[in-house]
Structure 1
Amino acid sequence: MTIAHWVVGDGPALLLVHAGVADARMWARQVDELSQDHRVITLDLRGYGETPLEPAAKYSDAGDLIAVLDELGVDTVEAVGASYGGYVVQQAASRHPERFSRLVLLCAPTDGVVPTDDLRAVWGEEEQLLEANDVDGATDLMVRSFIGPDASDEARELLRTMQKRAYDVQLAAGDVDNEEWPVEPEKITAPVRLVTGAHDFAWFGNCAAYLAERLPNAELVELPWAGHLPTLERPAEALGLVLVR
């Protein structure tokens, strides 16, 4: 399986891993500026964007991430993960801490924290819509739920396009076996910036607080304006979250 990925620019390697409602296109507004002094790597995880998902596939998103770095000859990398992408980054950094020099986790889930009732309700509604083959309804639900009030119409439409693509690919593949590597915060030695949004589901803030207590070197940043996807909601301002200032 070839994981679709793109490399732009020269300098220290910087890996951007997309959210579970998106794909690599979510970083489009940041890549040009980041690539002025970084070698920026974006990718589509299996079942997203341009990376297919084979029926009954057995794989690991975290393993795929490490395989892409190996293919590119990247020994150490700064990594930015949004939402589910942040969870994949945690898995990879727990098993291979020496490969990561710095992490930025944007509204990311983690192991060991119980989901809140409001998020469970959205997941339940999503499941009902998909069981009724209402993919458009499920897509609209995700857009309403996972992008904050400051997002432009353009950003909302991009999110709708990315989520619809993910549903189309994943529903066609059916059940798959994605091995999740354990997240062990105490083993992640790189400095970690944890970002949360005031308009996001409380669970993601709970996850950031949990990680902040356990990571050896963590910084917690709370954004009063943000929902779940700050880099889509305020693209220019979000550069400050990714870069070392």
Structure 2
Amino acid sequence: MTITHAVVGDGPAVLLVHAGVADARMWARQVDELKADHRVITVDLRGYGETPLEVGAKYSDAGDLLAVLDELGVDSVASVGASYGGYVVQQAASREPGRFNRLVLICAPTDHVVPTDDLRAVWAEENRLVEAGDVDGAADLTVQKWIGPDADDEARELLRAMQKRAYELQIPAGDVENEEYAVEPEKIAAPVRLITGAHDFQFFADCATYLYERLPNAERIELPWAGHLPTLERPAEALRLIL
């Protein structure tokens, strides 16, 4: 299966990989700017946006990313990954480090870092709401916890819609098997920009610290105004950081 993807513009290739509470729509404002001088590739991972998730599916999100690049004939790409999308990018770049010429990881988790208690509490509450059939309540929780104070109403409503779409696709699929490739930061020689937000869960700052200490060529930026999704919270400012 080839995951749903879109390609616009012409120039150096840039791959944008969405957060686990979102889909490719989260990049709309950045794509409008980037496509002027880049070949911009956006994807919907399985169970998000326009990509279905089969009941009991066995797959690899990172493998799907690499398959899309193969299909498009892209041998060298810069990639921006938000949250879970940043984790998938790390897996793909660890598997094929020569293919990725630059990475921007925004509030991304990684291997070998223990989730904090406050994050575990949010996951537990989300699971409780979903199991109770309260999808609207679970989506509201996402908006409360996963986007920072500078987000406007349009961004909040988009986040709610993207999360509800993910529930629509994922809940009927039941248990699936997503093979995760090992993240090996020492193998990723490309320049990496690590971005975190001061209003985000501490876990994601801890992940950035872990990666910064192990990546051969990394820089770290903490945004005092940002929550977990800075590209939705201040799109223009986040675009400058990406560029």
Aligning the two structures, in what range does the TM-score lie when normalised by the shorter sequence?
over 0.9
Question: Which residue identity lines up with residue 87 of structure 1 in the other structure?
Answer: Y
- 1:131 partnered with 2:138: no
The Cα shift of 1:2 comes to 2.7
CA distances 1:78-116 after superposition (whole Å, capped 9, x unpaired) = 000000000000000001000100000000000010000
Matched with 1:14 is: 14
Give aligned-pair identity as a percent: 80
In the TM superposition, what are the counterparts of 1:36-55 in structure 2 within 5 Å? 36-55=36-55
Partner of 2:234: 234
Which TM-score applies when normalising by structure 1? Answer: 0.99
For 2:137 and 2:197, the matched residues in 1 are separated by 25
Counterpart of 2:186 in structure 1 is: 186
How far apart in 1 are the matches of 2:140 and 2:32? 29
Partner of 2:173: 173
Deviations 1:11-45 (A, max 9, x none): 00000000000000000011011011100000100
The SS at the match of 1:204 is helix
**Aligned counterparts of 1:2 and 1:218: Cα–Cα separation in 2:** 31
**Structure-2 separation of matches of 1:164 and 1:236:** 26
Mapped to 1, the partners of 2:130 and 2:15 lie a distance apart of 32
Distance 1:170 1:99 in 2: 30
Q: Counterpart amino acid of 1:142?
A: T
Contact 2:200 2:228 in 1 (8 A): yes
Distance 1:46 1:76 in 2: 23
Amino acid at match of 1:170: Q
Letter in 2 for 1:108: A
**What is the CA-CA distance between 1:226 and the residue it aligns to?**
0.1
Unaligned runs of 5+ residues in structure 2 are: none
Deviation track 1:105-142 (CA, whole Å, cap 9, x = no partner) reads: 00000001000000000001011111111111111101
- Secondary structure of the 1:69 match is helix
Distance (whole Å) between structure 1 residues aligned to residue 233 and residue 32 of structure 2: 17
Distance in 1 separating the partners of 2:116 and 2:235: 28
Q: Which consecutive aligned stretches of 4+ in structure 1 deviate over 6 angstroms post-superposition?
A: none
Partner of 2:78: 78
1: distance between equivalents of 2:32 and 2:130? Answer: 36
**Structure 2 CA distance for aligned equivalents of residues 131 and 26 of structure 1:** 26
1:34 aligns with 34
1:169 corresponds to which letter in structure 2?
Answer: L
User: Is 2:24 aligned against 1:24?
Assistant: yes
Give the letter aligned to residue 17 of structure 2. V
Unaligned runs of 5+ in 1: none
Identify the residue that residue 61 of structure 1 maps to in structure 2: 61
Distance 1:147 1:189 in 2: 31
Deviation at 1:240, TM superposition (A): 1.1
Q: In 2, Cα distance between the equivalents of 1:240 and 1:195? A: 12
Deviation, structure 1 residue 202: 0.3
Q: Give the TM-score normalised by structure 2.
A: 0.99
1:143-167 superposed Cα distances (whole Å, 9 cap, x missing partner) = 1100000000000000000000001
Q: Which amino acid aligns with 2:201?
A: F
Any idea what SS the aligned residue of 1:172 has?
Answer: coil
Mapped pair 1:199 → 2:199: yes
Contact 2:2 2:67 in 1 (8 A): no
1:201-241 deviations in Å (ceiling 9; x for gaps): 00000000110000000000000000000000000111111
